[in-house]
Structure 1
Amino acid sequence: MWKWLHSYADPERAYKLAGTLLPWFSALAIGFIGVGSIWGLLFAPVDYQQGDSYRIIFIHVPAASMSMSAYMAMATSAFIGLVWQIKSADWAAAAIAPIGAVVTFIALITGATWGKPMWGTWWVWDARLTSELVLLFLYLGVISLYASFEDKVLAARAAGILAIVGVINIPIIKYSVEWWNSLHQPATIKITEKSSMAMEMLMPLLINILGFGLMIGAITLVRFRAEILARNGMRPWVRELATAEGVK
């Protein structure tokens, strides 16, 4: 069932696939984020309670949701690297970690900015906020472990174990507003129930969430290709690629 994964253990093949996907992810990310942001920030109706201050939701919610999605992608890559010993999966996890950390930081900053006029304070030790902060620390821990060992195989193993263990924090973030009393509002987007948002607000939000996901994918592909080159600098195909780029 998983034999198809081994075909991408070849660094050259993985590098070429990432290069093929990169323009598509980049173009779609720019398009979706452009449409979603302009629609949400400029043309979506004003909220009857929060006024225009609610518009930060079009940045905060995509960043917060994708911070969790990026972590799951990183942990999945780390799991594949540990179980099937596919080095390219380890490189993918290493590529995702800094991006996930930045997106998580954006979610925390925009959440604090939104919380100030709503709650009267920049920060509270709320279950949702605290678990999101823990997520940032997990990302930073994974990044630190990758950088702490000269032996990159050992580094990937240590960072991968932390990434996998840290998955337990994801359902805590997701369901914290339901499990504990929380200042944070409940989920805005509901799959099994009707959303509490008007469609004129919901559509640009969904577009931006998709756009953020594509943006993370595009940046990951760039970093993934860089990781491949860094780990395979002495391979003949890398030297040929460098020579070809030099000729251009």
Structure 2
Amino acid sequence: MNPVLRWFHQLGSPPTFDRFAARWSPWAFVLAIATMGVGLYGALFVVPPDYQQGDSFRILYIHVPSAWMSLFVFALMALYAAIALVWRIKLCEILAMACAPIGAAFTLITLATGSIWGKPMWGTWWDWDPRLTSELILLFLYLGVIGLYHAIDDRRAAARAASLLAIVGVVLLPVIRYSVVWWNSLHQGQTIRLLGESSIDASMVPPLVWMLVGTKLWFVGSLLARARADNLAREAGKDWVLRPAGTTR
């Protein structure tokens, strides 16, 4: 077997995943804090004020990475859910369900920072704009996945039911992505592109990149930590869980 495939196969073992998550989640958090620290310093003290929005535009460095993560995490959750349903891989169930609270947090930050940014720009905290409304629906979908997972006592059955909702909900992602193109919207169009030239000033881009990397690392740390906790809860009573505490069966 290919060494990489063998490593992924071994990672599906609950004890192996527990050791992997315990080792790497703290490093992901440390790197995330350091990376986001660099990004926030650049956003607050290096980048000049915007010629139209002044200093209020700096909330972009929280809002945009959170918005991108809200979509990325849901897509990843749906992917894990599909793998879990097709191949019955328990670790993918755990990872899919661990994604939901993290994605909901990013979505909530997106909505909150968008409202704070919208008040001076639009003169209102909230408007039933297509982008805002679809992002709010995304938050409800995350909460639906979380609620469904905790509403059923059987963890495997709960994960399968919540996974179905995650897969169905993925159709919302292109709606959010292209809402400013398909409908008249208060929300500004895309000004930052990973591929191609962005329409914002080049000096504003480096701190944003740092923040994007930092939020990804924070997500990795959070995902590993939450998945590890769920994995331990499901495996409670097994020898490999009890052994570190000095308990024998």
Alpha-carbon distance in 2 for matches of 1:199, 1:32: 19
1:229 corresponding residue in structure 2: 232
1:106 corresponding residue in structure 2: 109
The partner residue of 1:28 within 11, 26, 31 is: 31
Residue 71 (str. 1) matches residue 74 (str. 2): yes
1:156 corresponding residue in structure 2: 159
Q: Which amino acid aligns with 1:169?
A: L
1:145 corresponding residue in structure 2: 148
Residue 186 (str. 1) matches residue 193 (str. 2): no
Q: How does 1:108-147 map to 2 (within 5 A)?
A: 108-147=111-150
Q: Which deviates more from structure 2 when the two are superposed, residues 140-149 or residues 198-207? A: 198-207
Residue 85 (str. 1) matches residue 88 (str. 2): yes
Report the alpha carbon displacement of residue 99 of structure 1 after superposing the two structures with TM.
1.1
Report the alpha carbon displacement of residue 19 of structure 1 after superposing the two structures with TM.
2.1
For the 8 Å contact 1:142–1:163, the answer to whether it is kept is yes
Q: Which deviates more from structure 2 when the two are superposed, residues 183-192 or residues 40-49? A: 183-192
Could you tell me which runs of 5 or more consecutive residues in structure 1 were left unpaired when the two chains were aligned.
none
Report the alpha carbon displacement of residue 241 of structure 1 after superposing the two structures with TM.
2.2
Q: Which deviates more from structure 2 when the two are superposed, residues 2-11 or residues 79-88? A: 2-11
Q: Which amino acid aligns with 1:104?
A: T
Report the alpha carbon displacement of residue 192 of structure 1 after superposing the two structures with TM.
4.0
Q: How does 1:167-206 map to 2 (within 5 A)?
A: 167-206=170-209
1:43 corresponding residue in structure 2: 46
For the 8 Å contact 1:41–1:58, the answer to whether it is kept is no
Q: Which deviates more from structure 2 when the two are superposed, residues 218-227 or residues 15-24? A: 15-24
Alpha-carbon distance in 2 for matches of 1:111, 1:216: 21
Deviations 1:112-144 (A, max 9, x none): 000010011111111110110011000000000
Report the alpha carbon displacement of residue 151 of structure 1 after superposing the two structures with TM.
1.1
Report the alpha carbon displacement of residue 27 of structure 1 after superposing the two structures with TM.
2.0
Q: Which amino acid aligns with 1:195?
A: S
Residue 217 (str. 1) matches residue 197 (str. 2): no
1:13 corresponding residue in structure 2: 16
Q: Which deviates more from structure 2 when the two are superposed, residues 193-202 or residues 64-73? A: 193-202
Report the alpha carbon displacement of residue 21 of structure 1 after superposing the two structures with TM.
2.1
For the 8 Å contact 1:6–1:86, the answer to whether it is kept is no
Report the alpha carbon displacement of residue 197 of structure 1 after superposing the two structures with TM.
1.2
Give the 3-state SS of the residue equivalent to 2:240 in structure 1.
helix
Could you tell me which runs of 5 or more consecutive residues in structure 2 were left unpaired when the two chains were aligned.
none
1:166 corresponding residue in structure 2: 169
Report the alpha carbon displacement of residue 23 of structure 1 after superposing the two structures with TM.
3.0
What's the C-alpha RMSD, in Å, of the aligned pairs?
1.6
Alpha-carbon distance in 2 for matches of 1:40, 1:133: 27
Using the aligned pairs only, state the percent identity: 50
Give the 3-state SS of the residue equivalent to 1:47 in structure 2.
coil
Deviations 1:45-70 (A, max 9, x none): 10000000000001000111101111
Give the 3-state SS of the residue equivalent to 2:170 in structure 1.
helix
* TM-score, normalising length: structure 2: 0.93
Alpha-carbon distance in 1 for matches of 2:104, 2:146: 9
Count the aligned residue pairs.
244
